[in-house]
Amino acid sequence: MNMATSLDGKITTFEHLKVRIGSAEDRRRMELLRKRADAVIIGKGTLVTDDPPLLIRDPQIAAAREAERGAPHPLNVALSSRLDFDVAGARFLHQNPAPVLVLTTEAAPAAARAAVAAVAEVEVVEATPDGRVDMRAALAALAARGVTQLLLEGGGGLNFSMLELGLVDEIFLTLCPYIIGGVTSPSMVDGRGFTKDAVRKLTLQSVTPHDSGELFLHYAVEQERASVRDSETFAGGFEIR
Q: Using one digit for the tens of pLDDT, what is the confidence trace for 23-46?
A: 999 999 999 999 999 999 999 999
- pLDDT confidence of 228, banded at 50, 70, 90? very high
CATH number of 1-17+156-241: 3.40.430.10
pLDDT(7) > 90: yes
Q: Provide CB contacts within 8 A for 145, sequence distance 6+.
A: 75, 101
pLDDT(59) > 90: yes
Q: What tens digit of pLDDT does each residue of 71-116 get?
A: 999 999 999 999 999 999 999 999 999 999 999 999 999 999 999 9
Looking at the chain, the whole-number percentage of residues with pLDDT higher than 70 is 100
Q: Phi, psi at residue 145, to the nearest 5°?
A: -90, 5
Residue 232's pLDDT is 86
- pLDDT confidence of 236, banded at 50, 70, 90? confident
In the chain, CATH 3.40.430.10 covers: 1-17+156-241, 38-148
Mean pLDDT of 154-178: 97
Q: Which CATH number fits domain 38-148: 3.40.430.10, 3.30.590.10, 1.10.3720.10, 2.60.120.310?
A: 3.40.430.10
pTM of the model: 0.94
